[in-house]
Amino acid sequence: MGSRWQGGDPRVGYDESWYYATAKGLVQHPQLTESIDADVCIVGAGYTGLSAAIELAEQGFKVVVLESHRVGAGASGRNGGVLGMGQRKDQDELEAMLGLDVAKQMWQVACDANELVRDRIKRYEIDCDLTDGELHVAHRARYVDDLRRYNDHLAEHYGYTDRRHVSREEVRAMLGVDSFYGGALDFRSAHIHPLNLALGLARAAKTLGVQIFEQSAVLDYQNPATDQVLAKTAVGEVRAKYLVLACNGYLGKLDRQAGKYQMPINNFILATEPLDTTRAQQLNRDNVAVVDTRFVVNYFHNSPDHRLIFGGGENYSPFFPRDIKGFVRQHMLEVYPQLADVKIDYAWGGTLAITMRRMPSFGRSGANVYWAQGYSGHGIAMANMGGKLIAEAIAGQASRFDLFANIRHIPFPGGRWLRWPGLVAGMLYYSLLDKF
């Protein structure tokens, strides 16, 4: 067992969240203890891995999923629950980076990704508290025009009209605080219970015949033949035609090629005690997902039992803070000073993977090992899509996978955590700017 405070270890903190306390259909899957064959072996039971498993099983592939700890033990079972629209990078930035044509294709994939999650929730009857609406709020006056210009840009160039400007007065009416200068409300974004989504996807995969093994960390893999991969756990192994690495921030040293393009960082969330209905409504009248414009974003919404679920604060070391409640609470009080008397019932951390360009990193090691990772904090929709695009590629339709695999990513120099002191210093510098 890793240290009690170690990030990047799926065993640490998974059962400390409000999500775990309210998980629906938490079942234990067996450990892999023998040698088995499959068409595709998937490493990691988060959204990427489970999504790939569902798509491949639907197409008739024999699929095995190997998970180090438990289904949803990684970021997929711990995140802020914001089912966003678009890519992590805004479209105008993507246009500058990759050209209008590619940017438009990526926008379409993002729309499809949002739809994919909604479809699966409906089709597999996943009870994960899907609640529509995301309010993006400007924590400085100078960002209000940026938000408004972006609404106009999406309407004009993408025909996207499900996003509108929200005045400072309206934000005040919606959130009961005067700390934001205005915002943008997106009706296609939403919030969800992330662990229940992961558990629901696992249930769907099982009904399609996917074998899921927990407590089955892949320690190493080899290519004994060009069309064969052998993935080894401590007490078992899977021989398959294809291997999918769906490990994201928990990849460790399993694949150096994939590891070069992502850096793990930790992010933290709390859940307050249940508030009375009136007080909860004062904090978030329409119970939309709220995300602010800080570099280290604050994000929050209410749970069905009227708790405030508040994410804020991150770190760039292998360790979680010892007092996560206190760490996140200070961010919560900056937004909602009136909650000083409220008890914090749960606090937890999770590890996600970022890339230098803040776009996901998709790739192949050789002809039959695929990965999708580095969603940079925007992975609920895009990790589901990442898994689907790997499945498409394995089934012979690689064009959408290659759209992302062709992004020229900049490798991170240095070790895995604190990869590059200059980079970490840069992130700390930008997070300091949030204060001004």
Which 251-280 positions form the footprint of ligand FAD (CB under 6 A)?
251, 254, 267, 269
Site string for ligand FAD, 52-71 (x = CB under 6 A): --------------xxxx--
CB 332 within 8 A of CB 242: no
What whole-number distance in Å separates Cα of residue 332 and Cα of residue 355? Answer: 27
Q: At closest approach, how far in Å is the CB of 98 from ligand FAD? A: 21
What whole-number distance in Å separates Cα of residue 223 and Cα of residue 293? Answer: 45
Which 285-304 positions form the footprint of ligand FAD (CB under 6 A)?
299
Q: What is the DSSP-derived secondary structure letter of residue 32?
A: P
379 part of the interface to ligand FAD, by CB under 6 A = yes
249 part of the interface to ligand FAD, by CB under 6 A = yes
Q: Which of 17, 79, 87, 298 binds ligand FAD (CB under 6 A)?
A: 79
Query: Which of 100, 390 has the CB closer to ligand FAD?
Result: 390
183 part of the interface to ligand FAD, by CB under 6 A = no
Q: Which of 287, 129, 276 is nearest to 193 (CA)?
A: 129
What whole-number distance in Å separates Cα of residue 250 and Cα of residue 13? Answer: 13
Query: Which of 173, 234 has the CB closer to ligand FAD?
Result: 234
CB atoms near residue 421 (< 10 Å): 9
Name the one range near ligand FAD by CB under 6 A: 115-123, 202-210, 234-242, 349-357: 349-357
13 part of the interface to ligand FAD, by CB under 6 A = no
What whole-number distance in Å separates Cα of residue 5 and Cα of residue 352? Answer: 16
321 part of the interface to ligand FAD, by CB under 6 A = no
CA of 434: how far to CAs of 72, 138, 264, 268, 338, in Å? 31, 11, 21, 17, 21
What whole-number distance in Å separates Cα of residue 271 and Cα of residue 19? Answer: 9
371 part of the interface to ligand FAD, by CB under 6 A = no
Read off the tokens for 412.
């991170």
CB atoms near residue 402 (< 10 Å): 14
378 part of the interface to ligand FAD, by CB under 6 A = yes
Which value, to the nearest 10 degrees, does the dihedral of the CA atoms of residues 278, 79, 317, 89 take?
-100
Name the one range near ligand FAD by CB under 6 A: 77-85, 128-136, 155-163, 317-325: 77-85
What whole-number distance in Å separates Cα of residue 216 and Cα of residue 190? Answer: 33
Query: Which of 278, 327 has the CB closer to ligand FAD?
Result: 327
Q: Which of 18, 160, 250, 316 binds ligand FAD (CB under 6 A)?
A: 250
The Cβ-side half-sphere exposure at 154, using a 13 Å CA radius, reads 22
Q: Which of 38, 138, 380, 394 binds ligand FAD (CB under 6 A)?
A: 380
Q: Which of 184, 205, 352, 354 binds ligand FAD (CB under 6 A)?
A: 352
117 part of the interface to ligand FAD, by CB under 6 A = no
Q: Which of 17, 48, 151, 196 binds ligand FAD (CB under 6 A)?
A: 48
What whole-number distance in Å separates Cα of residue 363 and Cα of residue 373? Answer: 9
Name the one range near ligand FAD by CB under 6 A: 28-36, 53-61, 244-252, 329-337: 244-252
Binding region for ligand FAD (CB under 6 A): 10, 43-49, 66-69, 73-76, 78-82, 84, 217-218, 246-251, 254, 267, 269, 299, 311, 350-352, 373, 375, 377-380, 383
